[in-house]
Chains A and B, each alone.
Chain A
């Protein structure tokens, strides 16, 4: 105890001893989270590179495969995910303002929007299963050799086989993205439980902030998947 009753060791309970200040702890946590997100960029980056190379090799197959996707569902899902990013950003703001009820409300909104996204994604995947467009699960080239769409160019059987590469990448990329969403939604349930006990509205907002960074990152991946998988190969 210093003269005048000042305790030099007084600090909020959430400040770890190896940090000098709350701001330093926050900076370190953000830095760590961003380094993790960079590894995630590399993880998805490999699939994006594969997409780029195979699209150049088997362009007709990629065009044909892309046109079987439902652009309305894809656009709706993009909007849903952007809204969920907004609600997550507002959750971070609520934590900073120390408003517990508002924080829980925005976290719940983010959960709901995340589940809506996964639901729509499930409908799209089921459609692919019904159409025999899932590689390895009764895949059929019928729709590409004899397309029903008058704008579609019929593919030779060997090129039509290559649509499996498009769909493999489609399922790998949207699947890994959806896995990240499932992990995100699961974490959100924990955050809601802890937030309701007031864990993040007493100045300790780091977990909410870092989860926000993760959630926005998942949104960014979709922002790139959407044009690559749905938009750039449309029949016009």
Chain B
């Protein structure tokens, strides 16, 4: 066999308690921040910040709890392909809704 890294013949990377504890703390702190920010009037940025924090939290869960940071390129691409497809559907739906004279019925 060549020296190339082959994910199908690698020992699985084991993520340990220190990483999980750190991520747990980060997620709890981010939850506290997002709840606190909700009571401050920032106009449109309330929604922007809340969603940005939600995306950050979701990324931490995917990368560390779901091991994607340590996974093969196949799995990384799978996750990205899913997110990309979802964003595509959402964007095309929204372009339709914001660019037509849909009534408020």
> Which chain A residues have a beta carbon within 8 Å of chain B's beta carbons?
20-21, 23-24, 26-27, 30-31, 34-35, 37-38, 41-42, 45, 48-49, 52-53, 56-58, 71, 75, 78-79, 82-83, 85-86, 88-90, 93, 96-97, 212-213, 216-217, 219-220, 223-224, 226-228, 230-232, 234, 236
Smallest beta-carbon distance B59→chain A, Å: 10
Give complex CA distance A30, B58 in Å: 19
Known contacts A219-B61, A231-B34; is A37 also within 8 Å of B9 by CB? Answer: no
Inter-chain contact B17/A232, CB cutoff 8 Å: no
Inter-chain contact A85/B65, CB cutoff 8 Å: yes
Inter-chain contact B82/A41, CB cutoff 8 Å: yes
Interface string of B1-34 (1 = CB under 8 A from A): 0000001111110111100110110011001001
Inter-chain contact B58/A224, CB cutoff 8 Å: yes
Inter-chain contact A236/B61, CB cutoff 8 Å: no
Q: Is B101 interfacial (CB 8 A cutoff)?
A: no
16 example contacts (A-B, Cβ-Cβ < 8 A) are as follows A21-B8, A27-B7, A27-B8, A34-B78, A41-B86, A78-B31, A79-B31, A86-B23, A86-B24, A216-B66, A223-B61, A224-B58, A227-B50, A231-B37, A232-B38, A234-B39
Q: Would you list the 4 A-B pairs with minimal beta carbon distance, nearest first?
A: A38-B82, A227-B50, A24-B8, A231-B38
Smallest beta-carbon distance A169→chain B, Å: 16
Instruction: List chain A residues, Cβ under 8 A from B58.
Output: 220, 223-224
Instruction: List chain B residues, Cβ under 8 A from A224.
Output: 51, 54, 58
Instruction: List chain B residues, Cβ under 8 A from A79.
Output: 28, 31
Known contacts A52-B94, A93-B16; is A236 also within 8 Å of B57 by CB? Answer: no
Which B residues between 32 and 48 are near A, CB-CB below 8 angstroms?
34-35, 37-41, 46-47
Smallest beta-carbon distance A54→chain B, Å: 10
Of all chain B residues, the one with the shortest Cβ separation from A39 is B82
**Knowing that A23-B11, A96-B14 are A-B contacts, what are 8 other residue pairs whose CB atoms are under 8 Å apart, sorted by A's residue number?**
A34-B79, A37-B82, A52-B94, A53-B94, A71-B38, A75-B35, A85-B61, A219-B65
Contact check: which of A35, A53, A236 meets B39 at CB < 8 Å? A236
